[in-house]
Amino acid sequence: MAEGSLYGELFADREMAAVLDDRAALQGMLDFEMALARAEAETGVIPAAAADIIAAHCKAELYDIAAIGKAATLAGNPAIPLVKALTARVAAADAEASKWVHYGATSQDVIDSGQAQQYRTAQDLILARSARLAHALAELVREHRRTPMIGRTFLQHAVPISFGLKAANWLSPIVSFHDDFMIGGESAHQLGGAAGSLASLGDKADAVSEAFARIMPSIGAVRVPWHTQRRRPARIATELGLLLGHLGKMAGDIALMAQTEIGELAEPEAPGKGGSSAMPHKRNPVLCTLILTAAKRAPGLVATMLAAMPQEHERAMGGWHAEWPTLRELFLIAGSALNHAVALAEGLQVFPEQMQYNLDLTNGLVMAERVSLALAQTIGRGEAHHLLEEASRDCIASGRHLRDVLAEHPKLAGRLSGEELDDLFDPTTYRGATDAIIDRILVLYEEEREYMSGSG
């Protein structure tokens, strides 16, 4: 995201953009070159003095990013001109040391390892934000465990639920994502050489690989090169896609519940937020809109990462290059969507009175299932269902409450006492396993919270 961008932080926030910018990418690649030289010096492949001189020139601020980028256009990747520039700088300090720059490595080692370093930092940001979102949602669950509202299927009134249950179902996938991403979203450096065998390092190859795995900053390298085995980046992309899909579901729910005719929720208020250039009265759900924007972009990006997996022999033609901007974009939009989701959940306005009003809109029809099941115990399920359908049509046609219709129905009058009907039409007592479901989700959240505290 460029400084002073016309779109501000709508689609990418400054913190995540800084982690994934060109300077950070360049430093990640230089960190690889420094670690490689240190590992080769430790194992006797190159002189220790040469490693020190190489390391001294592995600082991103020493290099012209624009010049490297211009050369990368012809070279096919930025590693080639970077290594050339690093070699020239080292040669200016010590011609003998310059012979050992990038010794035994290949461009893909540099680029994959540099990106892995960036992605590790980006993953930490994602985990911190998902933890904060989980904490905010858990508070909503606890506060509204027993707040009744109407459940909706096919956008129509179904049966009563609690808002706490709805919020719990927003929380559960965030907890799962946090757990899965900590375990399966790991980036990894690699060192494989020209064709993944490290043949250029001879009998020192495995020792260099082991030393490199220890020395490379931030995260460890795997000992098996993965030049054309792209499960790692594809899995990271898929996890981010799943996260964005769920954030989109949550944002969609909230936007629908915030419609003027529904009015059960509202986004946090702020001066200038959600206005319209034409209509002064408008209060648009802008946070939901931006989250949904990211969710709609994610499937194509994830598909690109999966399409890039079949890579030819020991070095890909196009598939590897396709990953670079794609995974970066996924991190950017996931980070931005999480920021918006945190703001949304932490400041969400909940209107229980409007939830109750909407529950009462249909004059008790939403309790027809419960009444039918109660009557089924004496007249059978089929007959009870048929008679409740009939009574419901009468309720709609007459505009009367279903309870009153049932009290006067020739085949149903007297089958249920007034006290029984009062209980049957009370949505707060029609909870089923709601409390057990909420408790299970909160237990999973509490179990993960210890790990989340390290992220958030």
| Active-site residue flag, 113 | no
Specify whether the backbone of 154 is left (phi greater than 0), alpha (psi in -120 to 50) or beta. left
Helix or strand or coil: residue 169?
Answer: helix
Q: Is the torsion defined by CA of 10, 15, 20, 23 positive or negative?
A: positive
| Cα(257)–Cα(279) distance, integer angstroms | 21
Alpha carbon of residue 50 to chain centroid: 43
Asked if residues 430 and 367 have their Cβ atoms less than 8 Å apart, the reply is yes
| Cα(369)–Cα(371) distance, integer angstroms | 6
| Cα(448)–Cα(452) distance, integer angstroms | 6
The alpha helices in 7-106, defined as continuous H runs, are 14-19, 22-42, 48-56, 65-75, 79-93, 95-98
Catalytic choice (197, 276, 398, 453): 276
Residue with tokens 């419609």: 259
Asked if residues 423 and 416 have their Cβ atoms less than 8 Å apart, the reply is no
Question: 102: which residues sit within 8 A by CB, 6+ positions away?
Answer: 33, 36, 83, 86, 87, 110
Question: 456: which residues sit within 8 A by CB, 6+ positions away?
Answer: 127, 128, 129, 131, 132, 135
| Cα(75)–Cα(370) distance, integer angstroms | 70
| Active-site residue flag, 415 | no
Asked if residues 391 and 405 have their Cβ atoms less than 8 Å apart, the reply is yes
Catalytic choice (146, 297, 315, 449): 315
User: Which residues does the annotation mark as catalytic?
Assistant: 276, 315
